[in-house]
Amino acid sequence: MHIAIAGNIGSGKTTLTSLLAKHYKWHAHYEDADDNPYLNDFYEDMQRWSFNLQVYFLNNRFSQILDIRKGKHTVVQDRTIYEDAYIFAPNLHAMGLMTSRDYDNYFSLFKLMESLIKAPDLIIYLRASVPTLVKQIQKRGRDYENSIRLDYLKRLNERYEAWHSSYEAGKIVVVDVDDINFSESKEDLGKVIRIIDAELNGLFK
């Protein structure tokens, strides 16, 4: 079974991935942020490195999905391939930070990959306001994230909401991170687990 965590930068994807892997004894697949060769350059010069970064993420996510489908274990994945294609890449294009030529090339590559994969059995979408995202980004203290602009996070949030409302490839549930602090409250983590249990029970009916 393939469970995936979706959400904006700073929404708590990696934290929840780790907590769920521990609780359910699932295998965790994390986003390769620390070893990403483009991330620092991207935040310094988004226009120059946007295409390179998005192709790197696309390749990384596609490889993860192939590994997940080959394996026999239940896997929880930190971020989905859909977020790259339907949120981050079009946002960069709309902001003038990726050329139309590069975006069209990128999206064509994504559609080819999409035709070869199966959607996750369940996506957990972590919804968070910009103030919550900023607070959590500052808390984890990654140097390359210090230059992230508020309007960038706001635009991403708008695209996340549009994507979530139109997603039809599989099951998706929403966890409101403004109200549920699963990283610091065992009670709140219990709420998330009950939401997931209800969905998982539904999958097997």
pLDDT in the model for residue 131: 94
pLDDT-derived band at 92 (thresholds 50, 70, 90) equals very high
Average pLDDT of the residues in 136-161: 83
Give the C-alpha separation, 91 to 29, whole Å: 25
pLDDT in the model for residue 143: 67
Average pLDDT of the residues in 170-191: 94
Least confident range from 120-134, 143-157, 162-176: namely: 143-157
Evaluate whether 182 touches 16 at the Cβ level (below 8 Å).
yes
DSSP secondary structure letters along 38-91: SHHHHHH-HHHHHHHHHHHHHHHHHHHHHHHHHSSS-EEEES-HHHIIIIIHHH
Least confident range from 129-133, 139-143, 162-166: namely: 139-143
pLDDT in the model for residue 201: 84
Average pLDDT of the residues in 137-158: 81
Looking at the structure of the chain, the number of domains it has is: 1
Classified as helix, coil or strand, 174 is: strand
Evaluate whether 23 touches 11 at the Cβ level (below 8 Å).
no
Give the C-alpha separation, 58 to 107, whole Å: 10
Residue 9: which domain range? Answer: 2-203
Average pLDDT of the residues in 69-96: 94
| Catalytic site positions | 78
What is the CA angle 143-132-10, rounded to 5?
A: 45
Residue 146 has pLDDT above 80, yes or no: no
Evaluate whether 12 touches 140 at the Cβ level (below 8 Å).
no
pLDDT-derived band at 51 (thresholds 50, 70, 90) equals very high
Residue 33 has pLDDT above 70, yes or no: no
pLDDT in the model for residue 151: 87
Give the largest Cα separation in the chain, rounded.
Answer: 49
Q: What whole-number percentage of the chain has pLDDT above 90? A: 77
Give the C-alpha separation, 103 to 133, whole Å: 26
The predicted model scores a pTM of 0.90
Residue 197 has pLDDT above 60, yes or no: yes
pLDDT in the model for residue 141: 67
Query: What torsion, rounded to 10 degrees, do the Cα atoms 133, 43, 58, 118 define?
Result: 0
Q: Distances in Å between the alpha carbon of 170 and those of 53, 122, 141?
A: 27, 7, 34
Nearest to 74 by CA among 110, 30, 28, 111: 28
CATH of the domain at 112: 3.40.50.300
Structure tokens at 21: 């892997």
